[in-house]
Amino acid sequence: MHKLTEIDLEGCTAVCEEDGFIAIYVDPQRRCRCRAQVRASENARSRLGYQRVKRQRRLEKLAGRPCPERCECCGDLPDEGHGDRLHFDHDHSCCPVTDTRYTCGKCFRGWICQRCNLTIGQAATIERLEQVIEYLRKSV
């Protein structure tokens, strides 16, 4: 974060420790930020959005079908299951690649929310899930 001094809110200028005399952006809460920094963060968000769309298309192609609106495990919308998108669920033991961002696509199981993805990832095996279910049944 750039440190601003000598701030002129009316003229939208300030002195930045990194860049010297600069134009600033004043948001509705009257917080000031270096315009170059604002532009850089907007460009990064824009690039990130593009990369995300590109990755989503690649995963849908591997899955052989588009991502649905709801989790195929619990039926929740993505934001109800924490997270803003559905995850490409696949068997990590299948793929020979050590980087978990990549998959062969043959082991695709479905599109699931973050909560289900974390649950499955932590359980790791069907036997472990059965043990967890048995444990929960005993406590009811």
For residue 103, what pLDDT is reported?
73
- The SS3 call for residue 89 is strand
Phi, psi of 68 (to 5 degrees): -75, 175
Average pLDDT over residues 92-102: 64
Query: For all residues of the chain together, what is the average pLDDT?
Result: 78
The domain defined by 67-140 folds into His-Me finger endonuclease fold (3.40.1800)
Q: What pTM value is reported for the model?
A: 0.58
Listed residue (124, 123, 129, 111) closest to 74, CA to CA: 111
Burial, 95: exposed, middle or buried (Cβ in 10 Å; 0-12, 13-18, 19+)? middle
Domain ranges across the chain: 1-64, 67-140
